[in-house]
Amino acid sequence: MPGLVQIKLCGQKPLVFTTQDVKRLRCDLHIVGALMGTLPRFPLQNSFFGLPLLLMPEETTLLIKKHFATWASGNTAWTFPNTPREQCQYKTFEYLWDQGLYVTAALKFGGDYLAYPSDPMQCHSQYIVTVRGDRDEPLLPRDIISMGRLATNVKKTCVISAPDASEQGVEVFSVQWAGF
């Protein structure tokens, strides 16, 4: 088993700086992150990015919790998750990851996460995941309809996640329009 992935905290941004660590994250641990650096030969373009790799808070927490990564320079100022909503987001992310899915942010699709059955460079996402931070928060029929219609229009299944009754895990429900 290779060594631990080194994560450097720059402000509140968790970054990975080596190609070996990025390869391990993507190939072995199905963690995607987002490349954010400029490429030395093409510094003035905005289409392709290089190192470092920016990790989502959920990815970072999972890697540290499961002992796949460590902080470079012994930095331990990481504070995610703090709020009940952040805890539900992390538990949802961990649940999806445990199912073998690759998980990325879904802001442009109106959800919290996109979930892919394999590497996002090889396939399209199958799910738009929306996290409900409070189990007792009302979910109106129009919300279910709008989430389901949006997901159907982009050929995905809508997944709604909320804390389970024990507040230790999450429950997930899918909404899919039949006949489309």
Question: Which pLDDT tens digits describe the chain residue by residue (180 residues)?
Answer: 568 999 999 988 999 999 999 999 999 999 999 999 877 777 666 777 889 999 999 999 999 999 999 999 876 778 899 999 999 999 999 999 999 999 999 988 889 999 999 999 999 999 999 999 888 888 999 998 889 888 988 999 999 999 998 888 999 999 887 755
10 Å CB burial of residue 113 (0-12, 13-18, 19+) is buried
Catalytic residue among 90, 113, 116, 127: 116
What domains are there in the chain, each with its CATH number?
Answer: 5-71 (no CATH), 84-175 (3.40.1350.10)
Catalytic residue among 23, 65, 124, 155: 124
Strand ranges across the sheet with 50-54: 34-37, 50-54, 13-16, 5-10, 69-71
Cα separation, 65 vs 147, whole angstroms:
32
Q: Which long-range contacts (CB under 8 A, 24 or more apart) does 100-103 make?
A: 100/30, 101/30, 101/127, 102/30, 102/31, 102/32, 103/32, 103/58, 103/59, 103/129
| Nearest C-alpha neighbor of 119 from the set 101, 106, 105 | 101
pTM for the whole structure: 0.92
36 HSE (CA, 13 A, CB side) = 13
For residue 27, report the phi and psi dihedrals to the nearest 5 degrees: -80, -40
73: left (phi over 0), alpha (psi -120 to 50) or beta: left
Asked about 124 being catalytic, the answer comes back as yes
Asked about 156 being catalytic, the answer comes back as yes
Asked about 30 being catalytic, the answer comes back as no
